[in-house]
Structure 1
């Protein structure tokens, strides 16, 4: 069992920020121009999940605030197990367009989706591998690509019948997806073609375009490679789309345990 992330909220001061005097929701500083909430996740402590931190609001309020922003159609920044990401509701076409605008991303580059549980994958993807394989790789730093199901928003990656799906090994992200009760579209928190980010200050230029920035502290893996992306849409085969940060371990599972072979078309 993976450990549960202990969540709290603190204050992050940013240039030109001011506080909301009437909002009873999580204490936060607000980017003056677009009221961006910057919320701080407290890391796990040796005192366990019941540890209290004076002056901090319960982590459930951070989740509630982020879910509310997503449900209102906004884009938020979130920590994952690899790099920081931008997220929105995958079923909201307007929010998806906003993500592309914020990143300056080519409309021909796909977005992955993020879900909270393995069973959710079957709602949005046509899976041709054993469920045990999914359980061996997820949650984890891997994006698995399958044929998309009809229920997924047709405006998400309309140029391909495939979609990548993630379950980050990050308790906040899993709970966020579970509370939203629908998939999140997820991409790296940076201007397209720029370096991936592992701390919130690294994409501070994007803050004014975001409703919520969830600061989970520096990401432990400083490789900035992002998740390993593997296409499993062809029965019995796998294709590496992006090596990412977990290629060797992922290929070992696919080949040694499940007997999948590398798609010869990849070479």
Structure 2
């Protein structure tokens, strides 16, 4: 019997995608061979769930399929509010290793974690700022860096006592975290040193290595800068690690509203 997870591929051309039909056909054949599932996600509207169009997979099925893959230790590709990302269970050491292998990533470069709700941050991080500050920045295109808690997988970034945490302003990502009941490790969907991606066809060479690719269409912000990364591990201070796409608004909240001062730290 054909299973939802293990059968071939559903390839739906992303809205506005610039890749050729030939390239998509090649992608289909590659994914059929290796059992990658590529599904199109349309976000809910203000009036409720989006109307389903031809070729679109039901949102509940996408969530179920993706969660199943994650819980089996696989790596998936997902849209976020900034760029496309690769995600796996942060508490799975084997899955973490797979992410590094897929990206060809330097083992000394950390992965961030993604959670569904602000209260989840306190399980995995030692927070030294007011909860109201977290609420002003999250969900949003910001990664906040804190000292990690003891419960977080020691094989995730074992070279540092810190961890970056995100709550993307994206319904799919938040729901995936909620359904998994634990954080996802998250990094950009591209080969290391290559540009960040804002459409699924841009990382098509990675599809055969992934269990699921969720096509959320082109991401609106074409800056490809990713989230703004800020270290808040020192009481009363902040340090910008990566300017990203929301630097000005983030610094304004940190300085003007909460009185934090910049700590340049080490280069």
TM-score normalised over the length of structure 1: 0.88
1:84 Cα offset (Å): 0.2
1:30-58 CA distance string (max 9 Å, x none): 81231000000124558x32453254443
Structure-2 residue corresponding to 1:138:
138
1:69 aligns with 2:79: no
Question: Which segments of 5 or more consecutive residues in structure 1 lack a partner in the other structure?
Answer: 1-9, 19-28
> Does the 8 Å contact 1:239/1:266 carry over to 2?
no
Aligned to 2:235: 235
User: Does the Cα contact within 8 Å between 2:52 and 2:58 map onto a contact in 1?
Assistant: no
Determine the C-alpha separation between the residues in 2 that align with 1:143 and 1:93: 22
Question: Do structure 1's residue 15 and structure 2's residue 22 form an aligned pair?
Answer: no
Matched residue SS, 1:98: helix
Q: What TM-score does the superposition give when structure 2 sets the normalisation length?
A: 0.88
Report the aligned-residue RMSD.
1.8
Q: Which residue of 2 aligns with 1:53?
A: 52
**Structure that is richer in helix per residue:** 2
Q: 1:88-109: CA deviations, max 9, x gaps?
A: 0000000000000000000000
Match of 1:210 in 2: 210
Q: Please state whether the residue corresponding to 1:187 is helix, strand or coil.
A: strand
Who is 1:156 aligned against?
156
Of residues 256-265 and 212-221 in structure 1, the stretch that sits farther from structure 2 once superposed is 256-265
How far, CA to CA, are the matches of 2:59 and 2:125 in structure 1?
A: 31
Query: What's the CA shift string for 1:127-186, capped at 9, x where partnerless?
Result: 000000000000000000000000000000000000000000001100111000000000
Question: How has the CA–CA distance of structure 1 residues 121 and 50 changed in structure 2, closer, same or farther, with 3 Å as cutoff?
Answer: closer
CA distance in 2, matches of 1:86, 1:40: 16
CA–CA distance in 1 between the matches of 2:32 and 2:264? 53
Aligned residues: 247
Distance of 1:265 and 1:67 partners within structure 2: 38
User: d(CA) in 1 for partners of 2:224 and 2:203?
Assistant: 13
5+ unaligned residues in a row in structure 2: which ranges?
A: 1-9, 14-23
The question of whether the paired residues in 2 share the 8 Å contact of 1:31 and 1:207 is answered with: yes
Distance 1:147 1:253 in 2: 21
**Structure 1 segment 182-197 matched on structure 2, within 5 A:** 182-197=182-197
Question: How far apart, in 2, do the equivalents of 1:82 and 1:51 lie?
Answer: 21
Deviation string, structure 1 residues 53-106 (Cα, Å, up to 9, x no partner) = 254443111001000000000000000000000000000000000000000000
Q: 1:36 to 1:154 in 2, by over 3 A?
A: same
Q: Is the 8 A contact 1:16 1:32 kept in 2?
A: no
Query: Taking structure 1 as reference, are residues 252 and 54 closer, same or farther at Cα in structure 2, changes over 3 Å only?
Result: closer
Report what 1:223 is aligned to. 223
Tell me the CA shift for residue 15 of structure 1: 2.4
| 1:246-267 deviation per Cα after TM superposition (whole angstroms, max 9, x unaligned) | 0000000000000000014358
| Distance across 2 between alignment mates of 1:52 and 1:163 | 39
Distance 1:194 1:248 in 2: 26
